[in-house]
Amino acid sequence: MRTYDFSPLYRSAVGFDRLARQLESAARSSQENGWPPYNIETTGEDAYRIEIAVAGFSADELNIEAKENLLTVTGKKAANDDGAAQRTFLHRGLAERDFERRFQLADYVVVKGAALANGLLTLDLKRELPEALKPRRIEIAAGPALIEGKAEPRAKKAA
């Protein structure tokens, strides 16, 4: 595994510490195990979907938390004491282990909904820019006409 040292970025760039932390976090998360598998897709302009394969987990065993720019999906299997001691497995390939999957979100990306169907947890996300950050048209006001640096007198209204 290759690791990256971002400390030179801290020494030479001012105000990019958040970006460096995100790069470090991405480098760490890419070294994690690949379980559970997931897809990330775009579903429209500023709309995204994350699908996570969580076969065997019920909705009450899953937790979704969005805090600041971090989305965390956690699965904790409930104790399965319904005669598991009496079962003899010849092969046990179904993963029933707890997991935690983290996703770094861009600014203003919010989770709009979550659904669990057929072993897939689907999270719909959308980028919602505040009105203050959206582009807006600025009207140009008409000022008095200037002649040689002086304002031209306006015509008086007839009484």
Under the banding of pLDDT at 50, 70 and 90, the label for residue 111 is very high
Over residues 38-91, the pLDDT tens digits come to 999 999 999 999 999 998 899 999 999 999 889 999 999 876 555 556 788 898
Residue 151 CA to residue 42 CA, distance in Å, equals 55
At 90-106, the pLDDT tens digits run 988 877 789 999 998 98
Alpha carbon distances (Å) from 86 to 81, 92, 97, 106: 10, 15, 20, 49
The domain ranges of the chain are 1-31, 35-80+89-133
Q: Do residues 97 and 77 lie in contact, with contact meaning Cβ atoms separated by under 8 Å?
A: yes
Report field, pTM of the whole predicted structure over 0.75: no
Q: How far apart are CA 95 and CA 36, in angstroms?
A: 9
Pairing, β 109-117 against β 99-104: unpaired
> Which CATH architecture does the domain made up of 35-80+89-133 adopt?
Sandwich (2.60)
Burial of 48 (0-12, 13-18, 19+ CB in 10 A): buried
